[in-house]
Structure 1
Amino acid sequence: MLPIDLDVTRSIRAYMATCLDGEFSLERVHEGLRDAAWYSAKDRRLLRAICDEHPQQFTRWLYERERDGRYTGLIMVWPAGYSTPIHDHSGLWGIEMVLQGALSVEDYALVEDAGLHHVGTSVLEEGQSCAFLGTEGHAHRCTNLSARRAAVTLHVYGGMLERYRNFELRRDGRCVASPALAQVDGSLGPARLHG
């Protein structure tokens, strides 16, 4: 795929450069990210091509890997009805923003000897986002709420998510964790390290 430089990823890169100076605050980054994310009609057309190229496949596209490893940025394309397993983020903080469609986010607490405890569910529509600290006991599952259309989300993580755990809740109430690798399907934007 040819390099695609999106307006939204360019605006997020510029915004994140301002956030990395001084003391880091996830709340401040999350709050400002909504204002910084400019998702243009051009972006919508370009990402439509990615959706059409992989209509039945969940894909992850790296748009930024900050040189010092302080954050990475991804665009994710969710086929109609796709749902992730319940999973953690290996201790990384994260922000997830819906660019197209709507996403359900089910949050869970990992309770020692008790498995998973459902904490709540949020529905994120276009332009809405959620943030998480990536604490040891946090896990979630995300689902594209449309049965017909792909959803597109923008993610910012506090490092490079390479490995994580999926959680299966068994009938007896026990929770079984299995290691997983975070696949990246390609890159968007300039092929460079930012710093």
Structure 2
Amino acid sequence: MLPIDLDVTRSVRAYMATCLSEPDFSLTRVHQGLRDAAWYSPKDRRALRSLCDARPKDFSRWLYERERDGHYTGLMMVWPAGYSTPIHDHAGLWGIEMVLQGSLIVEDYEVVADSQSTLPRFVGSTVLEEGQSCAFAGTEGHAHRCTNVSARRPAVTLHVYGGLLDTYRNFEATHDGRYAARSTIARIDGALGHERARGA
């Protein structure tokens, strides 16, 4: 665990605790409120610069919350310049992804299965600048790919997923133009200073 206590993760944990105590969960309401609740301070920006500088060519995923009853997982991600994920799903979980530094392009796909393979069909794309976010409902047919727009600078994002995201599927192109779905372990590179993240 890194001794980094961030204002933004503290504010998100407090906000999510209030959301989980409400009787009726609404992803739209949680997403809208998260934009106001997540405060990314100048102190946070300086602290996370060390993560960007330590491994400038590596994409990394940092756990800041694994809610004790499994209601949600919180991650920070550091994106090297120009990095792009494979097309991937989120194991049927809902999610919110917010850009704290830099900008991302998010390509959305609809996953269609036939008798021979799984085919992600491109739906559209969105560019997220600093402070902007997107949400997805976690349907079985949803997948996306994210790319750091900058060829020179890293990006930092904050993620909230509606459950324990232990595995997911990457969709890898095959030689015949189809895609193969590969089960992938949700790798965690480390935890950011919060005692409930220990041992995760």
> Which TM-score bucket, shorter chain as reference?
over 0.9
Question: Structure 1 vs Structure 2: percent identity of aligned residues?
Answer: 74
Structure 2 match to 1:123: 127
* Aligned residue identity for 1:15: Y
DSSP 3-state at the match of 1:192: helix
Structure 2 match to 1:19: 19
Contact 1:116 1:169 in 2 (8 A): no
How far the C-alpha of 1:171 sits from its partner, in A, is: 5.4
Q: Deviation digits for residues 124-145 of structure 1, max 9, x if unmatched?
A: 0000000001110011000000
Q: Deviation digits for residues 92-136 of structure 1, max 9, x if unmatched?
A: 110000000000100000112271210000000000000001110
DSSP 3-state at the match of 2:24: coil
DSSP 3-state at the match of 2:57: coil
Q: Deviation digits for residues 16-42 of structure 1, max 9, x if unmatched?
A: 001001111111100000000100000
Q: Which structure 1 segments of 5+ residues have no match?
A: none
Q: Show the 5 A alignment for 1:11-160.
A: 11-21=11-21, 22-113=23-114, 115-160=119-164
* Aligned residue identity for 1:33: L
* Aligned residue identity for 2:38: A
Looking at structure 2, the residues matched to 27 and 124 of structure 1 have their Cα atoms a distance apart, in angstroms, of 17
Looking at structure 2, the residues matched to 57 and 94 of structure 1 have their Cα atoms a distance apart, in angstroms, of 23
How far the C-alpha of 1:13 sits from its partner, in A, is: 0.5
Looking at structure 2, the residues matched to 121 and 10 of structure 1 have their Cα atoms a distance apart, in angstroms, of 30
Kindly tell me: are residues 112 and 129 of structure 1, through their superposed partners in 2, closer, same or farther at Cα, counting changes over 3 Å? same
* Aligned residue identity for 2:39: W
Residue-pair matches, total? 194
Kindly tell me: are residues 34 and 168 of structure 1, through their superposed partners in 2, closer, same or farther at Cα, counting changes over 3 Å? same
Looking at structure 2, the residues matched to 2 and 93 of structure 1 have their Cα atoms a distance apart, in angstroms, of 27
Alignment equivalent of 1:164, drawn from 164, 168, 171: 168
DSSP 3-state at the match of 1:69: coil
Q: Deviation digits for residues 25-76 of structure 1, max 9, x if unmatched?
A: 1111000000001000000000001100111100000001111000010000
* Aligned residue identity for 1:126: E
Looking at structure 2, the residues matched to 10 and 70 of structure 1 have their Cα atoms a distance apart, in angstroms, of 17
Looking at structure 2, the residues matched to 93 and 2 of structure 1 have their Cα atoms a distance apart, in angstroms, of 27
How far the C-alpha of 1:164 sits from its partner, in A, is: 0.7
Looking at structure 1, the residues matched to 2 and 193 of structure 2 have their Cα atoms a distance apart, in angstroms, of 9
How far the C-alpha of 1:173 sits from its partner, in A, is: 3.6
Kindly tell me: are residues 39 and 112 of structure 1, through their superposed partners in 2, closer, same or farther at Cα, counting changes over 3 Å? same
How far the C-alpha of 1:151 sits from its partner, in A, is: 0.2
Looking at structure 2, the residues matched to 119 and 169 of structure 1 have their Cα atoms a distance apart, in angstroms, of 17
* Aligned residue identity for 1:34: R
Structure 2 match to 1:2: 2
Looking at structure 1, the residues matched to 36 and 5 of structure 2 have their Cα atoms a distance apart, in angstroms, of 19
